[in-house]
Chain A
Amino acid sequence: MSASTTAVMANTSLMAGQKENGASIRVRRIIAYIVLGLVTFLCLFWFYVLFINATRSHQELSGGFTAIPSTHLIENWTNLKNGTLPIFNGIFNSLLIAVVTAVFSTYFSTMTAYAIHAYDFKFKKFMFTFILMVMMIPAQVTALGFLQLIGKMGLDDSFIPLTIPAIAAPSVFFYMKQYMDSTLPLSLIEAARIDGSGEFRTFNSIVVPLMKPAIAVQAIFTFVSSWNNYFTPALVLHTDTKKTLPILIAQLRAADWLKFDMGKVYVMIAFSIFPVIVVYLLLSRYIVGGVTLGGVKG
Chain B
Amino acid sequence: MKKKSKVVSYNKWGYIFLIPFVVVYLVFQMIPLVSTIYNSFFENYRSGLTQVGPNFVGLQNYLTIITNGDLPTYTVNTLIMWVMGFVPQIILSLLLGAWFTDPSLRLKAQGFFKTVIYMPNLIMASAFSMLFFTLFANTGPINSLLLQLGVIKEAYQFMSHVWSVRSLVAFMNCVMWFGNTTILLMAGMMGIDPSLFEAAQVDGATATQIFYKITLPLLKPILIFVMITSLIGGLQMFDVPQILTNGTGDPMRSSMTLIMYLNKHLFSKNYGLGGALSVFMFIITGILSLIVFKFTASPEKK
Please determine if A and B sit in direct contact within the complex, based on CB atoms under 8 angstroms apart: yes
Which among A120, A133, A161 is the interface contact of B14 at CB below 8 angstroms?
Answer: A120
A44 cross-chain contacts in B, Cβ below 8 A:
116, 119
Q: Does B146 contact A (CB under 8 A)?
A: no
Q: Does B73 contact A (CB under 8 A)?
A: no
Determine whether the beta carbon of A12 is less than 8 Å from that of B107: no
Determine whether the beta carbon of A135 is less than 8 Å from that of B232: yes
Determine whether the beta carbon of B111 is less than 8 Å from that of A16: no
A172: min CB distance to chain B, Å: 10
Residue interface mask B131-147, A partner, CB < 8 A = 1 = 10011010111000000
Determine whether the beta carbon of A288 is less than 8 Å from that of B110: yes
Determine whether the beta carbon of A12 is less than 8 Å from that of B211: yes
Q: Does B71 contact A (CB under 8 A)?
A: no
Determine whether the beta carbon of B286 is less than 8 Å from that of A136: yes
Determine whether the beta carbon of A280 is less than 8 Å from that of B91: no
- The CA-CA distance from A8 to B11 in the complex, in Å, is 42
Determine whether the beta carbon of A108 is less than 8 Å from that of B285: no
B35: min CB distance to chain A, Å: 4
A80: min CB distance to chain B, Å: 15
A120 cross-chain contacts in B, Cβ below 8 A:
7, 11, 14
B61 cross-chain contacts in A, Cβ below 8 A:
none
Determine whether the beta carbon of A64 is less than 8 Å from that of B193: no
Determine whether the beta carbon of B236 is less than 8 Å from that of A138: yes
Residue interface mask B107-130, A partner, CB < 8 A = 1 = 100111111111111111111100
Determine whether the beta carbon of B124 is less than 8 Å from that of A269: yes
Chain A residue nearest to B32 (CB atoms) is A145
**Which residues 160-214 in B have Cβ within 8 Å of A in the complex?**
175, 179-180, 183-184, 186-188, 190-196, 206-208, 211-212
A298 cross-chain contacts in B, Cβ below 8 A:
192-193, 196, 218
Residue interface mask A112-139, B partner, CB < 8 A = 1 = 1011101111001001000111111111
Determine whether the beta carbon of A293 is less than 8 Å from that of B194: yes
A58 cross-chain contacts in B, Cβ below 8 A:
none
Which among A46, A171, A178, A230 is the interface contact of B131 at CB below 8 angstroms?
Answer: A46
Determine whether the beta carbon of A167 is less than 8 Å from that of B21: yes
Q: Does B105 contact A (CB under 8 A)?
A: yes
Q: Given A20-B206, A50-B127, answer yes or no on A8-B91 (Cβ-Cβ < 8 Å).
A: yes
Determine whether the beta carbon of B222 is less than 8 Å from that of A182: yes
B127 cross-chain contacts in A, Cβ below 8 A:
50, 269, 273
**Which residues 1-49 in B have Cβ within 8 Å of A in the complex?**
7, 10-18, 20-22, 24-25, 27-29, 31-33, 35-36
A16 cross-chain contacts in B, Cβ below 8 A:
206-208, 211
Q: Given A118-B14, A165-B29, A287-B187, answer yes or no on A173-B21 (Cβ-Cβ < 8 Å).
A: yes
- The CA-CA distance from A280 to B152 in the complex, in Å, is 41
Determine whether the beta carbon of A40 is less than 8 Å from that of B206: no
Q: Does B148 contact A (CB under 8 A)?
A: no
- The CA-CA distance from A36 to B100 in the complex, in Å, is 11
B121 cross-chain contacts in A, Cβ below 8 A:
224
Q: Does B263 contact A (CB under 8 A)?
A: yes
- The CA-CA distance from A260 to B122 in the complex, in Å, is 25
Q: Does B74 contact A (CB under 8 A)?
A: no
Chain B residue nearest to A33 (CB atoms) is B107
Q: Does A111 contact B (CB under 8 A)?
A: yes
Determine whether the beta carbon of A138 is less than 8 Å from that of B262: yes
Choose among A32, A114, A173 the residue with the greatest number of B CB atoms under 10 Å from its CB: A32
Q: Given A4-B87, A65-B140, A115-B14, answer yes or no on A144-B266 (Cβ-Cβ < 8 Å).
A: yes
Q: Does A205 contact B (CB under 8 A)?
A: no
Q: Given A137-B282, A138-B259, A287-B187, answer yes or no on A65-B36 (Cβ-Cβ < 8 Å).
A: no
Determine whether the beta carbon of B123 is less than 8 Å from that of A290: no
A124 cross-chain contacts in B, Cβ below 8 A:
14
- The CA-CA distance from A172 to B98 in the complex, in Å, is 24
Determine whether the beta carbon of A112 is less than 8 Å from that of B184: no
Q: Does A92 contact B (CB under 8 A)?
A: no
**Subset of 18 A-B contacts with CB under 8 Å:** A1-B296, A28-B105, A32-B105, A64-B137, A112-B18, A119-B17, A120-B14, A124-B14, A136-B232, A138-B285, A140-B259, A144-B32, A144-B266, A168-B20, A168-B28, A175-B225, A287-B186, A288-B111
